[in-house]
Amino acid sequence: KQEVTQIPAALSVPEGENLVLNCSFTDSAIYNLQWFRQDPGKGLTSLLLIQSSQREQTSGRLNASLDKSSGRSTLYIAASQPGDSATYLCAVSVNKPGGSYIPTFGRGTSLIVHP
Amino acid sequence: EAGVAQSPRYKIIEKRQSVAFWCNPISGHATLYWYQQILGQGPKLLIQFQNNGVVDDSQLPKDRFSAERLKGVDSTLKIQPAKLEDSAVYLCASSFQGVDGYTFGSGTRLTVV
């Protein structure tokens, strides 16, 4: 059974800092890994999707890397802003028998960026 | 492209009452998921559909929860009777075979009092 762990659970930083959020998983036979952002009381917004054959993906100030062999992914946020304050969730998908894909989530990292 | 639609947005019910949630996935997405997210935790899968068939419902409390996907498109999730511990956000997601990741709806926040 896939287990996903996110560290740290919470983070509070001043505006402008570069941040690293960590996601680790127990089963390295993954199909893809997706990072989401969740604002309070809202649904999940996709940030970056990394396929199992890829090493990293970038979007604006966000960069996500994937190391399948070590079971790790990191989300790097450059020059953090107060608007980045949210919970960041990592979802790891495995290919189940029959061709279905099921994402398993970590508990998330709660980020606060203060001015 | 229209996103995943969910309704209602919020629901407050008393324990032992019943409640139903609705989800309309992205057009063409064969796979649909229902997740339960308790405050402070990550989403937990309740049930996965492939078209109108159930792929995984191993974590669905079947004594009180039920779900169906009519004609492989819309889906409803029902709770009957509700318990206090069912208070959570219920998220619906859809995917085109997982290749392009997963798209989530805004969720339904359920409070059981």
Which pLDDT tens digit goes with each residue over B27-44?
999 999 999 999 989 999
Q: How far apart are CA B35 and CA B43, in angstroms?
A: 6
Chain A residue with minimum CA distance to B91: A43
Provide the pLDDT for residue A8. 95
Whether the Cβ atoms of residue B41 and residue B27 lie closer than 8 Å to each other = no
Provide the pLDDT for residue B38. 95
Q: Which of A6, A44, A109 is the best substitution to test chain B (most B C-beta atoms within 10 A)? A: A44
Phi-psi region of A68 (alpha: psi -120 to 50; beta: other; left: phi over 0): alpha
Provide the pLDDT for residue A102. 85
Average pLDDT score, chain B: 93
Whether the Cβ atoms of residue B110 and residue B87 lie closer than 8 Å to each other = yes
Provide the pLDDT for residue A61. 97
Provide the pLDDT for residue B1. 61
Nearest alpha-carbon partner for A6 in A110, A81, A82: A110
Which structure tokens are listed for A95? Answer: 């290919």
Give Cα separations from A50 to A84, A92, B30, B101 (angstroms). Answer: 21, 10, 21, 9
Q: Nearest 5°: CA angle at A48, between A9 and A102?
A: 80
From the CA of A53, how many Å to the nearest CA of chain B? 12
What residues of chain A score a pLDDT lower than 70? 99
| pLDDT per position as a tens digit, B59-100 | 999 999 999 998 889 999 999 999 999 999 999 999 987 677
Q: How far apart are CA B26 and CA A3, in angstroms?
A: 28
Residues of chain B with pLDDT > 70, as a percent, come to 98
Provide the pLDDT for residue B62. 95
Chain A residue with minimum CA distance to B40: A107
Dihedral through CA A60, CA A62, CA A67, CA A73, nearest 10? Answer: -150
Count interface pairs A-B at CB distance under 8 A. 68
Q: Is A106 on the interface with B (CB under 8 A)?
A: yes
Interchain proximity B56–A31, CB inside 8 Å: no
Provide the pLDDT for residue A90. 97
Edge-to-edge strands of the sheet including A72-77? A4-7, A19-25, A72-77, A62-67, A56-59
Residue B91: which of A43, A49, A99 has the nearest Cβ? A43
